[in-house]
Amino acid sequence: MGYRACFDIGGTFIKFAVVSEAGELFLQGKTETPTKNVTMYIPQILSEKVAYFREYYPIENIGISSCGIVDHNKGVILFSANIEGYSGFPLAHEISEFTGLSISVENDVRSACLGEMWLGAAQGKENVVLLTLGTGVGGAIIQNGRLVSGAGNLAGELGHMSIIHNGENCPCGGKGCFERYASTSSLIRYYQTIVGQEESIDGKEIMSKIKQGETAAIKAYQEFIDYLSTGLVNIAHLFNPECIIIGGGITEQGESFINEVNSKYKEKVMPLYRESTKIVLAELHNDAALYGAFVHAGNFVKN
Ligand SMILES: [Zn+2]
């Protein structure tokens, strides 16, 4: 039985577990992501965990899922907006110095997509797109069973496809990006515009207002679904995946959410795509990227 040390490095937490070939997670936990001296502390945290894992399991190698733009072939973090001092960091090299094991590093949304293909919503599928809806919108594309990376590892930034010409300003420098219209922050913006006040509210509170049947919250939610489905239509027309998986906190609504998204999507997409590309919910949630780290550490491991 193969065991790999798997990590998911996010802006707030570093999650970890030993993942087995059978898809079991052992010694699972999380620790806060350091906010200073990350190039020293992150390798230190990961190396200590690996040493601990090795007391219990024969660890073959290490799979790391990380936020930011990742050069998978070189194991380098090209850019990170969430962790200060992390951009340009040769993560794979540093960890292998400490552990002597081979390392595979890939972006977290791409990792999550691989995880969903292994054990989640896209099992047995070869053409898959994953969208994560949070403060922003993350994306990953798999075609013919392989991650689409692009010329500079930049493929799949679906949150930054422009859906409104000269629309809302986006932190990426663009205007009218999909994530300005289909993220939790946009749902909040719609709500605030409708109620006409700047009252601070989060996505969860809006969701509970929707459940209570509050008109303004329902209106904001429908606007959100409307924009989301527009982006889904673009993705379906571009890639015609077997499924587009949607993950993120907002999907906690479950069946009612995905049914509404599907019905709006089917209204807008070309008829042939209605059955060909289905919109489904993510299944692995917080563990998806850890499972995906196991997958890419197996398929594409670099020595
Ligand atoms: Zn953007």
Domains and CATH numbers, the chain: 3-112+286-299 (3.30.420.40), 124-282 (3.30.420.40)
161 CA → ligand 1 middle, Å: 7
d(CA 113, CA 62): 18
Cα of 88 from ligand 1 centre, angstroms: 21
Cα–ligand 1 centroid distance for 92 (angstroms): 28
List residues bridging with 65 in a β-sheet: 8, 106
DSSP, collapsed to helix, strand or coil, labels residue 63 as: strand
CA of 94 to the centre of ligand 1 (A): 31
CB-based contacts of 218: which residues, under 8 Å, 6+ apart? 210
Per-residue pLDDT of 75-122, as tens digits, reads: 999 999 889 999 999 999 999 988 999 999 999 999 999 999 999 999
Instruction: Determine the distance separating the centroid of ligand 1 and the alpha carbon of 172, expressed in angstroms.
Output: 4
Beta carbons within 8 Å of 300's beta carbon, 6+ residues apart: 72, 104
Q: Quote the ligand 1 centre to 175 CA distance (angstroms).
A: 7
Tens digits of residue pLDDT in 17-32:
999 999 999 999 999 9
Q: How far apart are the CA of 127 and the centre of ligand 1, in A?
A: 25
The angle subtended at Cα 147 by Cα 149 and Cα 300, nearest 5°, is 100
217-258, pLDDT tens digit by residue? 999 999 999 999 999 999 999 999 999 999 988 887 788 899
- Give me the amino acid identity at 10: G
Cα–Cα distance measured from residue 111 to residue 220, given in angstroms and rounded to the nearest whole number: 31
